[in-house]
Each structure stands twice: as structure tokens, then as C-alpha cells.
Structure 1
């Protein structure tokens, strides 16, 4: 399995999308310290704007946000960047909604808050599985 250290010359480009600003900032700092190139979006619409300006390998997308539902955002992300792998986060224990995300093209989902020692291997696994277009 690929490790973060294996990607030092070209770090994994990761987009965090969550309307909980503090959560995004803390997670971004922790992941950046571990070698990830992290972009942050505090809404679905902000994520779409950022994606127009740069590309990412993996996105971590919250299922429930104020401006756009995570499933709506996922559908647009998959059209804009089909090569980007999306991991859904759900803090509402809604496995049903997360399963809908997988049907819509998400790679996998994790329950929020998730431990970094669970998230990083999932990110690396997703990175390895991304389609090469």
C-alpha cells in the first residue's frame, strides 16, 4: 500500500469540503503536517469554485451542509472532475444517505468525527484507486 511518504515528491492533492469551518481548519492543519496538499471549502458552492481553478486527487465531502446537499455536490464533482475520488463524511449516522453517495459515484464513506488513523489510510487507498484519464 502506498504511504504518504511515498508521495513526498508529488503530494496527494486533497480537497476538504465541510461547512463546519473549525473542523475543516483543524483537519487541514493535521493533514498538511503529514504531507498532504490540502485545499479547503466551507460550502458546496465554494468547492465548485475552487475546482474550476485547480485539480485534486481526492475530496473529503460532508454529506450534510447548509448550502448544498452533499449528494448534489458529489454529482457535480463527478461531472467536473471524473478522475477525482470522493470520500463522503457523515456526522448524522445516516448509512442510507452514505450508500446513496456510493451509488452516485463516491468511493467510500466514513462517520464523522473520524480518527486521523482511519482517515489517512482511506485517503491513500482512494488515491491508489483513482482512474487515470
Structure 2
């Protein structure tokens, strides 16, 4: 499993169009496209990709809205890597059987 970082939503979508990606960790607040817009585009173009949203205390509502838009989960910032890694693994484990079923 490899991780790739990007600086914004449009760059994330570009990376997704160039590479096979299983799980995206996405900040709700980003310059340009916000995380919810990127989430909607990901689910439209790559419905099997799982998305975990990072949200601040002031934007819990955004995390819940992301769940309605089919995000796998959301995590409050700041978060520890020990909290985030298990969620990434769970998202990956959820994606794999669904992807095999589509083949």
C-alpha cells in the first residue's frame, strides 16, 4: 500500500484519473474545491473508492453531510495516525470484496 499526497481537490481528481486508488483521506476544507465537492465527484466517477473525511470541530455538520454523500467515515481534526490508520484499513477491507464482485 502506498500513499500519495496532493495539495487540493482538483489535483486529487487528476491523480485518481491517472492511478488506481482504493482509499482517499480528504480534508473537508481545502482551497478551490472543498472536500464535499471532491467527494461527490469521486463517488460519481469512481464509486468504489472509499473516502474518509477529515473535519474540524467547527465543521462536524460537514462530516455528517459527507456521510450522506457516501463517505466511508469522518475523523475529527486533529487526529492521531493511530486513530486514522485503522479506519483506512477498514475502508480498504470494505472496498476489496465489492470490487471483486464487479469483475
Same fold, TM-score > 0.5, yes or no: yes
Maintained 8 Å contact 1:62/1:70: yes
Q: 1:84 aligns with which of 29, 46, 49?
A: 49
State the partner residue of 1:47.
12
Give the TM-score, by structure 1 length. Answer: 0.70
- Superposition RMSD on alpha carbons, in Å? 1.1
More strand, by proportion: 1
Q: Is the 8 A contact 1:58 1:126 kept in 2?
A: yes
Of 33, 36, 39, the match for 1:68: 33
Task: Tell whether the 8 Å contact from 1:71 to 1:101 is kept in structure 2 after alignment.
Answer: yes
Q: Secondary structure of the equivalent of 1:40? A: coil
User: Which aligned segments of 4 or more residues in structure 1 are displaced greater than 6 angstroms?
Assistant: none
1:92 Cα deviation after fit: 4.3
Q: Report the TM-score when normalising by structure 2.
A: 0.89
What's the offset of the Cα at 1:81? 1.2
The equivalences for 1:19-34 within 5 A come to none
CA deviation map 1:13-60 (0-9, x unaligned): xxxxxxxxxxxxxxxxxxxxxxxx011111000011111110111000
